[in-house]
Amino acid sequence: MDYALRFIIGGLVVSLFAVIGDMLRPKSFAGLFGAAPSVALATLGLAFWKHGGDYVAIEARSMILGSVALAAYSMVVCQLLMRADWSALKSTLAALAVWIVMAVGLKHALIG
């Protein structure tokens, strides 16, 4: 039942964000708005239903810290691809260390 609800909620929210992304320019935002927010909202909604608000607050905080680490990773990959002229594989593997260090560091610094 949990998977069915997640599928339905996720599908509805993906559709909603796809419509929003389709209205924005550039069109490359459509993919961004179609996936991550819908999965996060479906996960938080189901977590709230099963575990309550305190649990969801911890999950949401973790998602925020993960997104900051992902932004740092993305910036490093872009810089390595454009300025250092590294290959995509080499850039993503090198930046993976940045993502892990940022995520773990932010967790320990802000959450404990």
> Average pLDDT in the 79-107 region?
93
Summary count for the chain: helices (H), strands (E): 4, 0
Q: Percent of the chain scored above 70 by pLDDT?
A: 87
pLDDT of residue 35: 63
pLDDT of residue 29: 60
Q: Are 88 and 81 in contact (CB under 8 A)?
A: yes
> Average pLDDT in the 71-96 region?
94
DSSP conformational letter for 104: H
pLDDT of residue 10: 72
Residue 103's pLDDT band (boundaries 50, 70, 90)? very high
- The per-residue b/e assignment along 37-74, b for 16 or more CB within 10 angstroms, e otherwise, is bbbbbbbbbbbbeeeeeeebeebeeeeebbeebeebbe
Measured in residues, the chain has a length of 112
Q: Is 84 helix (H, G, I), strand (E, B) or coil?
A: coil
pLDDT of residue 32: 62
In this model, does residue 52 exceed pLDDT 80? yes
Q: What contacts 90, CB < 8 A, 6 or more positions away?
A: 80
pLDDT in tens, 3-48: 787 778 777 877 777 777 677 766 666 666 666 666 787 788 888 9
pTM value surpassing 0.85:
no
